[in-house]
Structure formats: C-alpha cells, structure tokens
Amino acid sequence: MAAALKPGFSDPSAESARCFRVLLNAMSRPGLVQPITAGLPSAGGLNPASVMIALTLCDHESPVWLDASAGDEAADYIRFHCGAPITADTSAAAFGFFAACPDRHVLNSFAIGSPDYPDASATLVIQVEDLSNGPDGVMLTGPGIETVHRLAATGLPDGFWTWLNTSDRSFPLGIDIILAGPNCLTALPRTVRVEEAA
Amino acid sequence: MSIEPAGCRDSGYNFAYLNEQTKKMIRRALLKAVAIPGYQVPFASREMPMPYGWGTGGVQVTASILTPEDVLKVIDQGADDTTNAVSIRKFFRRTAGVATTEATAQATVIQTRHRIPERALGPDQILVYQVPIPEPLRFLEPRETETRKMHAFEDYGLMHVKLYEDISQHGHIATTYAYPVKVEGRYVMDPSPTPKFDNPKMDNCAALQLFGAGREKRIYALPPFTSVVSLDFEDHPFQVQAWEHPCELCGARDSYLDEVIIDDKGGRMFVCSDTDYCASRRMAASEAAE
C-alpha cells in the first residue's frame, strides 16, 4: 500500500495568500533570502519550501515536471493537492522542480518564451542546502536591487552562476528560478545579473 | 487619521472574493510580470461585481495579493473619499475583512486610480494601479497582432513620431497624462492615466508597483528600484507640470493641484489632489501653531 498522503494547507485562502506574498517579495527583490514559516511537510524528495511553492502556484493549467529525486510521492502529492498534470516533457512544463542538483542540459531544455510572449516560460524551483545573504556571496544586480544583493547558496551545480549569466543575455526571453532552501527561499528572475566574487 | 481595524468578513464569500484557482492564475501572471518589467502579461480576467472602467483589473490584482494582515488604502485621483475609492474599500472590508486606512504611511497595499501618493512609498508597500488601456501603442496602432510585434522587435519609433507631432503642432510635448515611459531600457509602458507629474515617482521607487487592466486582460509590473524613463528629446526634455500658486488649503508647492469650482460666478481654487497629503500637512501646521 502506498504511504498516506501528507496534508496541504489547513486554511488554503489565508495561507496561500501569505505564501504568495513571500514569493512576490522574493521575485521583486532578487537574491534576498525570505524565511518561510508555513509549517508544511516535505513530500517525497520535495522540501517544505518546494511544497509551499507547488501548493501556492500550481493547478490544472500549469504542467509540472519533477526530477527523478523528487519521487512518486511528490508526484502523487502534487496531483492530489494541486490537480496539476505531471509531465516528463521539460519543454511543456510551466514549473520544474529539482530535488537534486540540476544538470545544465536539463535546465536548458525548459521553455524560455517567445519574443511575442516572453511570459510563456518556465519557472524552475531548485532545492539547495542553504541560503544566506552573507558578505562572501555572489554579487547580484538588476531591477529590484537598490545597489547590490549578496547571495551565498550551497548545493548548486558547478558553473551555475556562469550559466545564469549567459542565459541572461536573451532578455526578455528566459526562465525564472526560485532557490528553495530547507526553511527559506530566494528568487532569481531572468533580469538578475551576477558577478562572482574574485 | 488612523487605521480602521480589520472587521468581520462576510463568510458567504471566499477570502478576498475571488476563488482560489483564479487567484493562482493571477498570481502566476504577477510573478511573470515582475520578472519581465514593463511587459504586459495576458491573464484570464474575471467578471467582477462592478462595471469595467471602475477598476476591475486593480481589484483582481489587490484581491490576489491581499493577506488577512494587510492594511489597505484606496485612492481615486488622489482622494480617499470619492465614490470609486469608498466602494472598493468597502468591497474589501466585506470580502477580505482587512483593516483599511486613509493614511499613506500606514498602508501596506494601496490601490490607486490615476495618481501616485505625494508621500514617498516605502519598501514594505505595494502600489496597485487600475489601468483602462494598458497598451501605450494602441492609439497609434489598433491591431494587437502588430503592437505585440512592435514590442517584440523593440520598434518604438512610432511613439517618438507621436511626441514629435505634439511639438510640431503645439511647440511642446502636449501629452499631460498616460505619458509613455521606457522600463529598464527595454519595454515602452503606459503608466496608466496618471498625470505626467507622477512619472518621476515611478523611477527607482522603493515600493513594488503592479498594474491591472480588467477589460483588456493584462497585468504588468515594476519591481522596486527599476529604471523608468519618460520618453523625450534632447532639445525638448521631459518636464512635469508646475503651478503659479500653492495649494490654497495647506500651502504645498510640491504637490499636484486640482482646480475646484467653488461658486457659479467663476470662482475657483487650487487644492492638493492627494487628500491625505493635504490633511496631514494641515494637521502638522495646526499642531505646530499650538
């Protein structure tokens, strides 16, 4: 018998509203780490921050792609609580969840939108071990950042920041990324520019 | 001026009126709008219990971002006490049960029709604009298929021709409201029919700015600290309106003034359009006098 499904929001309207404000703040202030206090469970390989994002944003209109580490429990959880279709086709996914360190080729296979509709692009959630705004992080600039935000993330693949900088050149096309820590998150919209510390 | 505390929500409605799936759809559009500053994201605008033109776009954006802890302010042409502002404020008191206020400094979410408050907004505030026609190129090119391509190709020459024609006819750029801006050097955006007086406040603003157009089904956004430049020419630089007289109620010389007819003999006075700004200045002056 399959494991019992974990619970979603206990008070969906109020909790999803609070969680969305966290996401809206994150997306409008790239690289600033936002704490999460929703008290949600993990589901399979998805940590509570990823679960919060799925519950807040995914539904039957937004196909979800899950990496292998997320597992069947995560797929069942999203199907039940969000009603979102699970797809194996990265180019058809509105959301992609990486429970493990992503491969650059997989990252490049998601939709980046078209010149007419740059919004028809994927939002990727990448789980990381830790996030902080320490002084030794990479330097982020761009819209939403007054001067500079410094972000340190552990658990990202090698060459991630270089990859992000090169994909940034196709603006307004691109994918938007949310880094999901164990109990915090931060967003890297396509507008963000990265300078790695020397 | 104080906060009217959160009241009893009408439990016959879902929190903030819209159903959860609609809010998810709008929330996804909002995140994409923030990620692509100035680009108009299409969304499945719903029918609202008010006619188009009364702020159905702004109301849907506000409904999707409100949390039970928010303090909401609603202004119409700068005023908190006009029909549109009062009815939208009552709508959210009833359906979301949120606290409301008229004081700009106390609000966390401000929905506005055609003005930006005079008081500088802070990083913990969100400004939601009601937008009638989101497409800045619409009156120059009526076809959506064409304007979409013009945005894709960054083909904005037509807008400069329009401003040039202003100069050739009037000797100056005669556009006074809905004055087009360029966002982060990429998208030309309609700031909604705010007076051009307010355009400089959009540039590098500490608050997040969200725009909702209900009938036209578009959402767009300006993240905080985003470059917003009013279009102009080197020899005809962008200028805001100026008045000869200060506000006749509070004496402010730095605010946008409304002309008010006060009798049927042609009498008139100029007063601040931002009622909260005017009232708090008068209160501060009377306290200083005591």
Instruction: Mutate one of B17, B27, B189 to test the A interface: name it (highest A CB count within 10 A).
Output: B27
Q: At what angle do helices B20-35 and A48-57 cross, to 10 degrees?
A: 110
Q: How far A28 CA sits from the closest chain B CA (Å)? A: 5
Cβ burial A120-158 (10 Å sphere, 16+ → b, else e): ebbbbbbbbeebbeeeebbbbbbbbbeeebbbbbeebee
Lay out the sheet containing B181-183: strands in order across.
B187-189, B181-183, B228-230
* B147 pLDDT higher than 90: yes
- The answer to whether A31 contacts chain B (CB < 8 Å) is no
Does ipTM exceed 0.90?
Answer: yes
Give the count of alpha carbons within 13 A of A131, CB side only.
25
Q: For domain A11-195, is the CATH number 3.30.70.1340?
A: no
Written as one string, the DSSP assignment of A25-77 is HHHHSTT--EE----PPPBTTB-HHHHHHHHHH--TTS-EEE-GGGHHHHHHH
Q: Check residue A1 and give its pLDDT.
A: 47
| DSSP letter (8 states) at residue A94 | S
* C-alpha closest to that of A54 among A176, A62, A17, A131: A62
B 193-232: CB under 8 A from A? 206, 208, 221-227
Question: pTM for the whole thing?
Answer: 0.96
**What are the tens digits of pLDDT across the range A128-178?**
999 999 888 999 999 999 999 999 999 999 999 999 988 767 899 999 999
- The answer to whether A190 contacts chain B (CB < 8 Å) is yes
Q: Check residue A168 and give its pLDDT.
A: 63
In three-state secondary structure terms, B149 is helix
Nearest to B35 among A20, A27, A59 (CB): A27
Distance between CA atoms of A48 and A132, rounded to whole angstroms?
A: 17
Distance between CA atoms of B141 and B150, rounded to whole angstroms?
A: 10
Structure token pair of residue B158:
């037509």
> Which backbone phi and psi does A179 adopt, to 5 degrees?
-90, 125
**What are the tens digits of pLDDT across the range A39-96?**
899 999 999 999 999 999 999 999 999 999 999 999 999 999 999 999 999 999 999 9
> A11 near A17, Cβ under 8 Å?
no
